[in-house]
Structure 1
Amino acid sequence: MTPTTPPVRLRLDLAYDGTDFSGWASQPGLRTVQGELEASLGTLLRTDEARLTVGGRTDAGVHARGQVAHLEVTPAELAKWSGARGAGADAAAEPDENAARTRARRLNGILQRRASDIAIHSVREVPAAFDARFSAVRRRYEYRLRDAAARRDPLTARFTADVPRALDLDRMQRAADELLGLNDFTTFCKARDGATAIRDLLRFEWRRTEDGAFAARIEADAFCHSMVRAIVGAVVSVGSGRIDMQELRDLRDARARTSRFPVMPARGLSLEEISYPADDALAARAELTRARRRSEDLG
């Protein structure tokens, strides 16, 4: 790649069933989402240099319906991927929406043969300032569970956690409300050394689903490791009567890891959406996020 042929940045929107993956990130000897995707991209583009940056680094067993990643390709690779005739063809001549679907279809064709539990929705060109991780302004997850009073459903068992106690939905919602806002979530996080666990929890809403499960919608600017499953575990403990509302407040304010509530199983969790600002605000958002991470690392 020469200075006169800058790379093209592509955004991938994708989904996966996380059951049989050891998380997103590549790990030697383990099956991961990143590993399968980069291998498939290598087959498609005939390269061993395809590298993805992800918006939400999901743990082992966690699912995604709204994951986002980006990578850079050469104009020649873009033309090849888009089905243009020859590396010098104008790959941008086709309307971007159609080209995005074409690229997704070609990558899905390879994934069907080696990783059918991953689905690519779209592959579209984005500004060079777009960063799947650092440009994000918020992330939305859903957590599904069934309590002891619910009817078992083997068809959704891979995506729904079981709680062997009866739960009170109203109590869980009141408990969820106690955690909203800008807080230090150290009690609910496995924070890195020197990093802050301060996060802005924007929404935490429970509902009963049509199939009799409980589902929580959880949104924040960002999440630290295990935070979603831990806050769900705390709220479930209130809903079952294991802890009361005052103890939840005390635990939250203590800012210390505890065994008073469980970290919920990975299979109930799904990354549903990652939101980004308008194109003209992408660079500023990414720099703000990077500056915050640098200050945490310097701690």
Structure 2
Amino acid sequence: MDERIRLRLDVSYDGTGFSGWAAQPTRRTVAGVLTQTLDLVLGVGTATGLTVAGRTDAGVHATGQVCHLDLPTAAWREHEGRLLRRLARLLPTDVRVRAITEVPADFDARFSATFRRYQYRVTDAPWGAEPLRRHDTLAWPKPLDLDALNAAAAGLVGEHDFAAYCRRKENATTLREVTRLDWRRDPDGILVATVQADAFCQAMVRSLVGAMLVAGDGRRPVQWPAGLLTRRERSSEVTVAPAHGLTLVAVGYPDDPAEYARRADLTRRLRVPVAEG
């Protein structure tokens, strides 16, 4: 077997025109477009094992997505000086590979990750979202109170069973540790939620945002989102916030590459499914 090398790819994309990350035979997806372009540059099947840190849903964006793949060492040595620019020329403009880095063979974009960080953008301006930001900012029809949003967020931080906020999968745990969840209002008036956790179950981030927004506009008490954590089934009262306001902004990994394998083993023991919010 040919000697192979593992590469980390840092990827950004506008999710508007994609049916999510995961390749689907009849739909345009980020993984599908990336694989097709790599095949064009390197030869069909040369790049193998494309693995992503977080499988974002249709319409969700990324500025800090990470994936890995394996190449024959000879192919990498042939293309390494020009691969980034060739991908820039051939990829559609709504997806960019921003960096390509050699990593140890035990680096796993999915299982070696220590956290995923998302941001969700909302405007409560009476005129709605600015036209140039309409694809990444939710227009909310009621005024939102920043203090109420942060009070609602505070009760969701920590390790909890987020079953009320997750689309349950068979044999998958809904136990997650949220290490950061807060809101800010930027000078332009946009409200930005930042949420970070070791991992998320499917639709979790958008469900959390949906619950906090109705507390922020006064329709629910600020204690209501945390109160749902006692549920062991998905709550039909929670509306999932639209996908287009959500962006994956960062994925963290151990500082010491020697820790990649240990972290991956730990993650596999804790939970197999790793999805986006």
Per the normalisation by structure 1, the TM-score is: 0.87
Identify unmatched segments of 5+ residues in structure 2: none
**Is 2:129–2:137's contact at 8 Å kept on the other side of the alignment?**
no
Q: Distance in 1 between matches of 2:129 and 2:178?
A: 31
Task: Find the partner of 2:262 among 259, 270, 284.
Answer: 284
| Change over 3 Å in CA distance of 1:210–1:148 after alignment to 2 | closer
Q: Distance in 1 between matches of 2:99 and 2:83?
A: 7
Q: Distance in 2 between matches of 1:34 and 1:20?
A: 13
Q: Which residue does 1:73 correspond to in 2?
A: 71
Q: Distance in 2 between matches of 1:150 and 1:171?
A: 22
Task: Find the partner of 1:11 among 8, 18, 21.
Answer: 8
Question: How far is the alpha carbon of 1:211 from its aligned partner?
Answer: 2.3
1:39 counterpart = 2:36: yes
Deviations 1:95-123 (A, max 9, x none): xxxx5xx4322221211xxx111111111
| Change over 3 Å in CA distance of 1:176–1:295 after alignment to 2 | closer
Find the structure with the greater CA-based Rg.
Answer: 1
Task: Find the partner of 1:147 among 107, 124, 147.
Answer: 124
Question: How far is the alpha carbon of 1:191 from its aligned partner?
Answer: 2.1
1:265 counterpart = 2:263: no
Q: Distance in 2 between matches of 1:53 and 1:267?
A: 23
1:89-238 to structure 2, matched below 5 A, reads 99=81, 102-111=82-91, 115-149=92-126, 152-238=129-215
Question: How far is the alpha carbon of 1:148 from its aligned partner?
Answer: 4.8
Question: How far is the alpha carbon of 1:237 from its aligned partner?
Answer: 1.0
**Is 2:129–2:138's contact at 8 Å kept on the other side of the alignment?**
no
> Which letter does structure 2 place at the counterpart of 1:283?
A
Per the normalisation by structure 2, the TM-score is: 0.94
Task: Find the partner of 2:231 among 235, 240, 254.
Answer: 254
| Helix, strand or coil at the partner of 1:281 | helix
Q: Distance in 2 between matches of 1:295 and 1:127?
A: 23
Question: How far is the alpha carbon of 1:12 from its aligned partner?
Answer: 0.2
Q: Distance in 1 between matches of 2:101 and 2:223?
A: 49
Identity of aligned residues (%): 46
Deviations 1:109-150 (A, max 9, x none): 211xxx111111111100001000000000100000112546
| Helix, strand or coil at the partner of 2:107 | coil
Deviations 1:187-244 (A, max 9, x none): 1001211211100000011111232210011100000000000001111111111211
Q: Distance in 2 between matches of 1:249 and 1:274?
A: 26
Task: Find the partner of 1:62 among 60, 63, 79.
Answer: 60
Q: Distance in 2 between matches of 1:218 and 1:122?
A: 24
Give the CA RMSD over aligned residues. 1.7
Higher strand proportion, which one? 2
| Helix, strand or coil at the partner of 2:118 | strand
Task: Find the partner of 2:17 among 17, 20, 24.
Answer: 20
Count of matched residue positions in the alignment of Structure 1 and Structure 2? 272
Higher helix proportion, which one? 1
